[in-house]
Structure 1
Amino acid sequence: MTPRDPGATGRPGLLVEELSVDYPGRDSPVHAVDAVSLSVEPGGALVLLGESGSGKTTLARTVLGLPGRNARVTGRIRLGATDLRALTEREFSRVRGSRIGYVPQDPTGSLDPLRRIGPQITEVLRRHRVVTTRRAARDAVPGLLTTAGIPEPERIARSFPHELSGGLRQRAAIALAVACEPELLIADEPTTALDALVRSQILDLFGGLRSRHGIAVLLVTHDLAVARRVGGQVAVMRAGRIVESGPADQVLSRPAHHFTAELVAARAGARR
């Protein structure tokens, strides 16, 4: 991957303004995301922290252009100079995977179980025209797997997803997500099913992608320990709204909102 100067654009990698996402309800609309504004600088990280049903995944998927059927979306979403809300689905499909990478909670959501890892990555490279020949795409695979912290990249490239451990599958999903050198990486609960050591390694990997390649990271989690480890900025979501945001160490050590304080206290109680 080519290093990107985090300050080269002079504007946020991601800018969301007054974003609302509503779904039809039996009696009234369901406000999944309610007038949310946030930004992530190139090379920066923003952790969306909240309980299940708080709207954090809906927000992330709306940034991806995948809010779901019957969603009513208002507000602005910009990636660099591009107004994502103004794109057609065909135009957005070119942005998704090239300028925005996505790492799901379960890597089987992005890895085809019937295909080897290497060909899946070469297909992404060729689909988004990062390289022009099959050979160039194949030659790029080991480096991408190495960037994702995978040992023996040639062997892993020849492997099927089911032949890999959970940690290696998640790293392969990350390699797939960053293959086209995206400006923004969205990770939705990417460490939930991993043990503590692998979880730490994956989060360190995100930090390396930020510092070495200038990728902006938007990470969704319910885990305060993950939010602390990622650092950067934290936005605490509850019932579709951001109730508190700021530097991770400040928000999680000296919460100003009672809901954040309750999350911190619950985490502290669970450790006793």
Structure 2
Amino acid sequence: MTGVPALAVRDLTVDHAGRGNPPTRAVDGVSLTLEPGGALVLLGESGSGKTTLARAVLRLSGRAARVTGRVELAGQDLLALDERALRPIRGRRVGYVPQDPAGSLDPLRRIGAQIAEVLLSHRVADGRAAARTAVPGLLERAGISEPGRAARSYPHELSGGQRQRAAIALAVCCGPELLVADEPTTALDALVRAQVLDLFAALRADLGVALLLVTDDLWAARRTGGAVAVMSGGRIVETGPVDTVLSRPEHPLTVGLVTARPSERR
């Protein structure tokens, strides 16, 4: 599979049906590629279509949405698969980190049990004992300093930063090829934001995970590096290396985004 992108989105369109109204086009003919171990930041204001695009990559657009085009994971078109065929891909080959860890963590179960279940369901661990043994190392790799305690804890017993790290451990525990992170640092303070973004960089370097990061945070985009695709009205209006686009934006919408937040440029 040498030379095949980790992710290739080709002419992707997402229409949301309205009750008694014409469909709303949330993503309009978007194409992009992401190489193994690379990073692509989807940058844009609220309503630009970036989260809709990310959810389409995950095949989570909802039944009322009409999705056309191609979403290729290492050359395999995910839009052509039924739900049964998608189950071994989500969590195993594609990991997802939502803005709110509550979107992936079950509040009624201990963290360790949740990670062990994912390892078992995707047959990454050979039995329950092996799954339980693997959990502390996975939490430590995600930046949790007391992994044994965290494994025994319920989500509400952890700080916000620890919960987000636990959600990241859950998303990458099976060694996915692609990690989709949807505004994962929004509710975190500056120090923890930096730590989470540095963790993503380490996962890319150590495991070769490709990162698709959704954000409206220029500082987070710059720290992540790689490439950026600026979205507005469901379309990509500018793309290129992060430092180039944020330092010398060319499209008027990108210029407006950068000049409106000068404190986040560096």
Q: Give the structure-2-normalised TM-score.
A: 0.97
Aligned equivalents of 1:35 and 1:177: distance in 2? 28
Aligned equivalents of 1:81 and 1:264: distance in 2? 34
- Paired AA for residue 3 in structure 2: G
Alignment partner of 1:232 is 2:240: no
Alignment partner of 1:20 is 2:13: yes
CA contact (8 A) 1:209 1:215 kept: yes
- The root-mean-square deviation of aligned C-alpha atoms, in Å, is 1.2
Alignment partner of 1:125 is 2:119: yes
1:173 aligns with 167
Aligned equivalents of 1:116 and 1:23: distance in 2? 36
CA contact (8 A) 1:103 1:173 kept: yes
Alignment partner of 1:136 is 2:138: no
Number of equivalences:
264
Aligned equivalents of 2:45 and 2:77: distance in 1? 29
CA contact (8 A) 2:8 2:75 kept: no
Q: Give SS of 2:59's match.
A: coil
Q: CA deviation at 1:147?
A: 1.1
- Paired AA for residue 100 in structure 2: D
2:152 aligns with 158
2:51 aligns with 57
1:268 aligns with 262
Structure 1, residues 25-71: CA drift from partner, whole Å, max 9, x if none? Answer: 34422110000001111100000000111111010001001111211
Aligned equivalents of 1:131 and 1:208: distance in 2? 23
Aligned equivalents of 1:100 and 1:206: distance in 2? 14
CA contact (8 A) 1:107 1:169 kept: yes
CA contact (8 A) 1:9 1:80 kept: no
Q: Give SS of 2:99's match.
A: coil
CA contact (8 A) 1:13 1:184 kept: yes
Q: CA deviation at 1:269?
A: 6.6
CA contact (8 A) 1:177 1:185 kept: yes
Alignment partner of 1:86 is 2:68: no
Structure 1 unaligned blocks of 5 or more:
1-7
Aligned equivalents of 2:135 and 2:33: distance in 1? 31
Question: What are the within-5 Å matches in structure 2 for residues 97-108 of structure 1?
Answer: 97-108=91-102
2:28 aligns with 34
- Paired AA for residue 149 in structure 1: G
CA contact (8 A) 1:116 1:161 kept: yes
- Paired AA for residue 86 in structure 1: A
**For residues 129 and 259 of structure 1, do their structure 2 counterparts lie closer, same or farther at Cα, with a shift above 3 Å needed?**
same
Alignment partner of 1:188 is 2:182: yes
Q: Give the structure-1-normalised TM-score.
A: 0.95
1:249 aligns with 243
- Paired AA for residue 247 in structure 2: S
1:204 aligns with 198
**For residues 164 and 20 of structure 1, do their structure 2 counterparts lie closer, same or farther at Cα, with a shift above 3 Å needed?**
same
- Paired AA for residue 10 in structure 2: E
- Paired AA for residue 233 in structure 2: A
Q: CA deviation at 1:214?
A: 0.3
The percent of aligned pairs where both chains have the same amino acid is 69
